[in-house]
Amino acid sequence: MQEKKSIHGAWASRWIFILAATGSAVGLGNIWKFPYIAGENGGGAFVLVYLVCILMVGVPIMMAEVFIGRRGRQSPINAMKDVAIEANHSGKWSFVGWMGVLAGFMIFSFYSVVAGWVLYYIAGMGTGDFIAIGSDDAGKVFNDLLADPQTLLIWHTIFVAMVMVVIVGGVKKGLENAVKLLMPALFILLLIMLGYSMQTEGFSQGFDFLFHFDFSELSWNAVLIALGHSFFTLSLGMGAIMAYGSYMPKKTSIGGSVITIAAMDTIVALIAGLVIFPIVFANGMDPGAGPGLMFVTLPVAFGQMPGGQIFGFVFFLLVGIAAWTSAISLIEPAAAWLVEKFGWSRVPACIVLGLVVWGLGIAALGSFNFISDFKMMGFNVFDFLDFMTANVMLPLGGLFIAIFAGWFVTRKMAEDELAISSPLLFNAWYIALRYVSPVAVAVIFILNLVEKLK
Ligand code: TRP
């Protein structure tokens, strides 16, 4: 069979693919969400369960996404369709791509609001607003921000523009150049922060908190959270990784690349914990502070420490970069589809998509002020979007992808595309994909729903 090429272009090398996918994976999930859910769920034991989930469920499904994308060489909607047809099944499998595009919009709309807070804090740290700030004042800064739709709108708009500027450039000039510049910057900033936290008094306490396994602290609910988060953090279940896979060079190993990506994502999450917890402990504070950990507890800690202004600034800059390279991957599948479907250039595609996600974001940011009373299934809009995507749509998308790749795509196609030379490794992947991940996902999916809807 003649090899298909993507009309959108291709990554220059395997390493660019790895950087781009790592850029997608490493985001607010790693630096904002992971530390606070680990903090709320007892630390070490939670971390261990999370690692198992990444390895047993995340890695096999990520490999499936990449291989479907590369086989189909198009946006997830069309890749799912073509690969299904190639395997003699219905092209209606494209619905998985559609659900993914929708999930991408929904995630983006709350992601962009949080990224907007991050931009606000970069500016605030840079101008010294948090020097020697007390807990009450820091809480007030954050609450005042949430209560002020205009300020939120400005930063949300800036973030949407930042993302669209990259996507409009396309795969080579936009995405590839962005990740080549931003990912090394991100790693350097992270190492600077690690160096800083290692010399605080709280380091060993922070380290123990993250790696001390006490299973009595682990609840069943925490296991569910760990599995759900392993999806979110690896950007699985909505086609982001599938789209990136469709630009991947043919003769490169999917398994090796995916393991590298998952390892880098995990290392960043752990380092983020090793940055945040020691700083929190060094100032005698409590890490179980929920989502406010990053926007209230941490600024207070930075405000009290020597060099805190500079390192606080570096920290939020790092988070901003991580959010930026992730948000790109939430929109790229939809952009690629518009280009394929209507033959548009990227400019109109980005204008349309930019307006859609900008508008949705306004509803998300309004949850904290002008529509705070509006509830869906008992959630405000922001929490509804978070819940529906992370706990419903991503696991469901992942489940469908695992079933599709494991049971509908022929074994021969999978073998061709993955080209794993060791039969043992191939079988390990195949069993994990066909049995372990669908069952695990189905179980968390149902338990999560029951739990949340109770
Ligand atoms: N993985 C990102 C994070 O941890 C979020 C993200 C980006 C994402 N693209 C995605 C999540 C696609 C699910 C699907 O912050």
Q: Ligand 1 pocket, 30 CB below 6 A?
A: yes
H or E stretch at 305: none
Question: Helices 177-198 and 203-211, interaxial angle, to 10°?
Answer: 110
Q: Note the pTM of the prediction, 2 decimals.
A: 0.95
Ligand 1 atom with minimal separation from the 330 CA:
9
DSSP string for 333-387: HHHHHHHHHH---HHHHHHHHHHHHHHHHHHHHHTTTTTTT--BTTB-HHHHHHI
The pLDDT tens digits of the residues spanning 158-189 come to 999 999 999 999 999 999 999 999 999 999 99
Phi, psi of 56 (to 5 degrees): -85, -30
Angle 190-192-197 (CA atoms, 0-180°, nearest 5)? Answer: 90
Give the closest residue to 258 by CA, choosing from 20, 10, 423: 20
Q: Is pLDDT above 70 for 1?
A: no
Q: Whose CA is nearest to atom 8 of ligand 1?
A: 235
Residues linked to residue 376 through DSSP beta bridges, in sequence order = 379
Q: Is pLDDT above 60 for 265?
A: yes
The pLDDT tens digits of the residues spanning 213-246 come to 877 877 877 888 888 899 999 999 999 999 999 9
* 328 CA from centroid of ligand 1 (Å): 10
Structure tokens at 242: 């599938």
Residues linked to residue 379 through DSSP beta bridges, in sequence order = 376
Q: Ligand 1 pocket, 240 CB below 6 A?
A: yes
* 20 CA from centroid of ligand 1 (Å): 12
Structure tokens at 118: 């991050």
Could you tell me if 361 and 109 are in contact, meaning their C-beta atoms sit under 8 angstroms apart?
A: yes
The pLDDT tens digits of the residues spanning 50-72 come to 999 999 999 999 999 999 999 99
- Please choose from 227, 318, 326, 386 the residue to mutate so as to test ligand 1's pocket, defined by most ligand atoms within 8 A of CB: 326
- Please choose from 22, 24, 328 the residue to mutate so as to test ligand 1's pocket, defined by most ligand atoms within 8 A of CB: 24
Q: Ligand 1 pocket, 235 CB below 6 A?
A: yes
* 183 CA from centroid of ligand 1 (Å): 16
Give the closest residue to 27 by CA, choosing from 289, 313, 239, 234: 234
* 270 CA from centroid of ligand 1 (Å): 17
The whole-angstrom distance between residue 255's C-alpha and the CA centroid of its chain comes to: 20
- Please choose from 265, 330, 332, 400 the residue to mutate so as to test ligand 1's pocket, defined by most ligand atoms within 8 A of CB: 330
- Please choose from 34, 107, 386 the residue to mutate so as to test ligand 1's pocket, defined by most ligand atoms within 8 A of CB: 107
Q: Ligand 1 pocket, 322 CB below 6 A?
A: no
When comparing pLDDT for 40 and 96, which is higher? 96
What average pLDDT does this structure show over 414-443? 94
Q: Ligand 1 pocket, 330 CB below 6 A?
A: yes
Q: Ligand 1 pocket, 27 CB below 6 A?
A: yes
Q: Positive or negative, the Cα torsion across 16, 17, 18, 23?
A: positive
Neighbours of 198 (CB within 10 A): 14
DSSP string for 291-309: THIIIIIHHHHHHHSTTHH
Q: Ligand 1 pocket, 28 CB below 6 A?
A: yes
| pLDDT value, residue 2 | 54
Q: Ligand 1 pocket, 272 CB below 6 A?
A: no
* Low-confidence winner among 181-185, 241-245, 287-291, 419-423 (lowest mean pLDDT): 287-291
| pLDDT value, residue 38 | 87
| pLDDT value, residue 284 | 86
* 25 CA from centroid of ligand 1 (Å): 6
Q: Ligand 1 pocket, 238 CB below 6 A?
A: yes
Q: Ligand 1 pocket, 233 CB below 6 A?
A: yes
Q: Ligand 1 pocket, 285 CB below 6 A?
A: no
Could you tell me if 57 and 435 are in contact, meaning their C-beta atoms sit under 8 angstroms apart?
A: no
Q: Ligand 1 pocket, 297 CB below 6 A?
A: no
What average pLDDT does this structure show over 86-115? 96
Q: How would residue 275 be classed by pLDDT, with cut points 50, 70 and 90?
A: very high
- Please choose from 102, 111, 227, 232 the residue to mutate so as to test ligand 1's pocket, defined by most ligand atoms within 8 A of CB: 232
Query: What distance in Å separates the CA atoms of residue 57 and residue 439, rounded to the nearest whole number?
Result: 10
Q: Is pLDDT above 70 for 198?
A: yes
Q: Over the range 53-63, which residues count as b (16 or more CB within 10 Å of their CB) and which as e?
A: bbbbbbbbbbb
* Low-confidence winner among 38-52, 55-69, 98-112 (lowest mean pLDDT): 38-52
* 427 CA from centroid of ligand 1 (Å): 28
| pLDDT value, residue 454 | 74
Q: How would residue 306 be classed by pLDDT, with cut points 50, 70 and 90?
A: confident
Could you tell me if 130 and 122 are in contact, meaning their C-beta atoms sit under 8 angstroms apart?
A: no
Could you tell me if 309 and 128 are in contact, meaning their C-beta atoms sit under 8 angstroms apart?
A: yes
Query: What distance in Å separates the CA atoms of residue 321 and residue 409, rounded to the nearest whole number?
Result: 37
What average pLDDT does this structure show over 110-132? 94
* 307 CA from centroid of ligand 1 (Å): 32
DSSP string for 109-123: HHHHHHHHHHHHHHH
| pLDDT value, residue 145 | 96
Ligand 1 atom with minimal separation from the 240 CA:
12
Ligand 1 atom with minimal separation from the 326 CA:
7
The pLDDT tens digits of the residues spanning 361-416 come to 999 999 999 999 899 888 999 999 988 898 889 989 999 999 999 999 999 999 99
Amino acid occupying residue 19: L
Ligand 1 atom with minimal separation from the 390 CA:
13
How much of the chain exceeds pLDDT 90, in percent? 77
**Which residues does 324 contact at the CB level (< 8 Å), separation at least 6?**
115, 159, 162, 163, 166, 178, 182
